[in-house]
Amino acid sequence: MSFGGLEKPVGHQPMSEINVTPLVDVMLVLLVIFIIAAPLMAGRLALDLPRAEVPGVVPAGHEDFVAVEVDARGQVHWDGQPVNQEALRTRLQEAARRNPATELQLRADTSVPYGQVVQLIGLAQSAGLSRIGFVAEAPPAPGR
C-alpha cells in the first residue's frame, strides 16, 4: 500500500502542435503590402489602339450599339453619314433615351488627335451613354 509520496509527478509534456497564429499574421501583413503596392507598379500602360486582334463574334448582350467614325481630317460620321457637333449630341441623347445600355462603338483614324477622341467620349457620357467601345483594325496577316 502506497500513499503517493514516492511516485514521481508527471511534468508538462512537450507541445507537438504548430502555432499558426504568427504565420497568419505575417501573411496578412504581406497581403496588405501587395494590395497597396500592386497598383503603383502597374501605373503606366503602353497602348497601341489602332491595331489589335479583333474577335469575329460579337458577345451576347452587345447587339444594341451606335457607330461613330472620325476620319483623318477630324470629320465625325454617324453610321457613315457626316454630322456636326450639335447633330451628334442630339443623336447620342436619342440613343441614350431609347436604351441607356447602348454601346458607342468609336472608330478613330490613327492621325486623329487624342484630345478630339476624349471630347467625343465626354460628349457621349454627357448624353447618357456609359458604354464605349474602341474598334480596332486587325493587324495584317504575316506574309502579305
Question: What is the length of the chain?
Answer: 144
Say which amino acid occupies 139. Answer: P
Helix intervals (H) in 21-131:
21-41, 85-98, 114-127
Its pTM surpasses 0.75: no
Give the count of beta carbons closer than 10 Å to the beta carbon of residue 76.
20
Q: 132: burial class by Cβ within 10 Å (0-12, 13-18, 19+)?
A: middle
Angle between helices 85-98 and 114-127 (to 10 degrees): 40
pLDDT at 91: 92
Instruction: Give the pLDDT score at 45.
Output: 39
Q: State the pLDDT at residue 24.
A: 94
Domain extents for the chain?
65-134
Nearest to 90 by CA among 133, 130, 128: 128
Question: What pLDDT shows up at residue 6?
Answer: 62
| Chunked mean pLDDT (size 10), the chain, 144 residues | 62 79 93 86 50 53 77 84 90 90 87 88 89 79 64
Query: What pLDDT score was predicted for residue 46?
Result: 44
Class in CATH terms, 65-134: alpha beta
**What pLDDT score does 49 carry?**
45
CA 7 to chain centre: 73
pLDDT on residue 74: 84
